[in-house]
Amino acid sequence: MTKERRYTAEQLSDANKMAKMLASIPEEKRSLVVMMTNSFMAGMEAQRTIDTKEPAMAMA
């Protein structure tokens, strides 16, 4: 069973702005912008994972 996601008003507003921005980009360039955005978001998720993990113990 998957957990239902809930979004804040700010997140929904940001998503709406992003959708409007994507709609304003010519279709032939849109895939590049989507790819760059996905890469940025993946980097943010990776950094969050790094920040929340405990440091590995150094082996002597």
- pLDDT, position 1: 63
DSSP-derived 3-state class of residue 22 = helix
DSSP 7: -
DSSP 53: S
pTM to 2 decimal places: 0.60
- pLDDT, position 55: 67
Ranges under pLDDT 70 in the chain: 1, 55-60
- pLDDT, position 17: 96
- pLDDT, position 32: 94
